[in-house]
Chain A
């Protein structure tokens, strides 16, 4: 197909060059000949642009029409250059108004090359018919031997059927035929106006340059008819000549401009595709903001499972009500959106760009959405883990209180009752007294067990008096001497205090069991927004957090609060446990 286009281009060049060369012997003033050179050169440039557009968009009829338009105009000029050759004159006459349907077809079908409405199709079809019929009177009625001053072409020995019907007023005929073009011009303008009104803002941007050129061309044409100009005045009158030349070159140039504008928008989107390839997923918003030139752009990702929009971090997002401040463009289908852009309303003027950007970013957006979903799930998981730990703590507190208020009180009451029994029995109790002593010892043991159990479940002192008091109480009971260093007096919140307490109590128990240490140092401090727990012993080291559920359970507890727990226990070098728990706000 490219060969065909090259051939057409070469033919156009040959035609224009041939016309220019053939002018030499024609009996015309020099100024006309010079203008003809300019005119044919411009026509060749127009043909060249047409072939380029045709080559770039072979699937659109636009290029073909754009090439054909200057072609037929040049051919129709042959009637006065080859004025005494039957074939070129007949061909030229047949082509006289072929530019009308080609022009209408080109402009109304631009930029897709397809006529979209039935009215446009009917009109263009009609103009093709009109052009064919229009040529007939010329071919039939034109009497080449009749004296007239309007046409320079006089084919005295034409072989082709230029029928010699006598007509003494050929000028009247051409005038009449010209006037028939007027209603066509008006209908065309109406259709062009309708096309502009109906176009989307983005589409209008592309169509506008050609439409302006077409409008000017038709205005010039109407003015020409109205001022009773004849075809050759365009060559004789300086102003008309230049206006006409401007029209010839204006159509392809404006069309090319429109395509160029469309291309700029497309190449911005092409840059976006490259950007998206490079940027990390969270950069999708930035890449889009750059492409759309809207730094205020916000990206809302739709999570179908939740039926809500979230930001890139998975945090729920409320779309603003569209207004003069912000506009919302939903990407994807209305029922199943993919995302939404919240942007500057000015962008609505370029829906083509928005659509293209959305299409280019679709995959990245899909990816972004999955990540946002994951982040939202992760955040939820983290929150639910923290809630579970907290609920566990509350349950333990409740259990401890139940043990304390229930079983323990009953046992204490029992102890008092046993004392009363001893009083009642008096000094002569004999064997009963021993039994009583035994029962009291048993009771004491039961109370000890119960107290240890209750403490293990939840240290009441922690709730009642805070971490410092609770740690001091732990230190008092420890079998290995504990020195409590700095302990923050701030209340850190139940979950954090509980975590810190259990880290210390579990560590003290481990040291007592395994470390053979002689001293332990404990401190709980605030560093920035973190509570920092440090426990050092001078024992044998070698503790492995992977073994034993105690440390691992603590690690889980700390992680549930977004904190970290580190155990350093080189063999023979003591053990250092370091925990950092964010205190939030």
Chain B
């Protein structure tokens, strides 16, 4: 069974490229969201296996979203990502509620697979 994924990012061009990249790697991208509230709603509705979650969203931080997702009965694997590096983000990158963090510049299918396993 293919791994399903949800992409959460406020930049449409990133969502577009990321979707194609994941699909090329045989993920099934079940949806995307541009802010935290939409992300939580989509996860509840679509139950993806993996959420690629931007750290800096217009309405809340990726950490806050991850915390909300962590209490769901079928919690997805959350991979945090950002156009900024971990040192620029400081305490905004913690992996208590997430599988890990990949800076967007380092985002490859291999790096993602390394964190979530699968495909």
Contact = CB atoms under 8 A, between A and B. Distances in A.
Contacts of A413: 11, 13-14, 16-17
A263 interface: no
B4 to A, nearest CB: 20
B109 A412 contact: no
A1 B83 CA distance: 102
A447 B11 contact: no
Max count, chain A CB within 10 A of own CB: residue among B17, B83, B88, B107: B88
Contact of B109 (A404, A419, A473): A419
B41 interface: no
Contact of A477 (B11, B21, B25, B87): B87
A18 B25 CA distance: 142
A465 interface: yes
A232 B109 CA distance: 139
B83 A423 contact: no
Interface residues of B, number: 25
B105 A420 contact: no
B85 interface: yes
B88 A460 contact: yes
B71 interface: no
A417 B24 contact: no
Nearest to A470: B90
A464 B20 CA distance: 31
A420 B17 contact: yes
B84 interface: yes
B21 A416 contact: yes
Contacts of A451: 84-85, 88
Nearest to B17: A416
B34 to A, nearest CB: 13
A552 interface: no
Interface in B14-65: 14, 16-18, 20-21, 24-25, 56
A405 B56 CA distance: 11
A514 interface: no
B105 A444 contact: yes
A412 B104 contact: yes
Contacts of B85: 451
Interface in B63-106: 83-85, 87-92, 104-105
Contact of B88 (A416, A444, A447, A461): A461
Nearest to A416: B17
A223 B70 CA distance: 116
Contacts of A461: 88-90
A423 B84 CA distance: 25
A410 interface: yes
Interface residues of A, number: 29
B119 interface: no
A477 B84 CA distance: 14
Contacts of B104: 412, 415
Contacts of A415: 104-105, 107
Interface string A418-447: 011001100000000000000000001001
A564 interface: no
B106 to A, nearest CB: 9
A399 to B, nearest CB: 16
Interface string A454-476: 01000111001100011011001
Contacts of B14: 409, 412-413, 416
Given A455-B88, A465-B90, A469-B90, A416 B107 contact: yes
A245 interface: no
Nearest to A417: B17
A405 to B, nearest CB: 8
A416 B87 contact: no
Given A409-B11, A476-B87, A447 B105 contact: yes
Given A410-B13, A464-B92, A473 B87 contact: yes
B110 to A, nearest CB: 10
B18 A465 contact: no
A163 interface: no
A404 B90 contact: no
Contacts of B108: 419
A473 B89 CA distance: 8
Interface in A130-174: none
B91 A404 contact: no
Contacts of A423: 21, 24-25
Contacts of B87: 473, 476-477
A416 B18 CA distance: 7
A226 B105 CA distance: 123
A408 interface: yes
Max count, chain B CB within 10 A of own CB: residue among A404, A416, A451, A470: A416
B116 to A, nearest CB: 17
A487 to B, nearest CB: 13
Contacts of B16: 413
Nearest to A466: B90
Contacts of A410: 13
B49 to A, nearest CB: 21
B102 to A, nearest CB: 12
Given A408-B83, A412-B83, 10 more contacts: A409-B83, A413-B17, A415-B104, A416-B17, A417-B17, A420-B24, A423-B25, A447-B105, A473-B90, A476-B87
Interface of A: 404-405, 408-410, 412-413, 415-417, 419-420, 423-424, 444, 447, 451, 455, 459-461, 464-465, 469-470, 472-473, 476-477
17 contacts: A404-B83, A404-B84, A412-B83, A413-B16, A415-B105, A416-B17, A417-B17, A419-B108, A420-B21, A423-B25, A451-B84, A459-B88, A461-B89, A461-B90, A464-B92, A465-B91, A476-B87
Q: Nearest 4 A-B pairs (CB), nearest first?
A: A416-B17, A469-B90, A413-B13, A423-B24
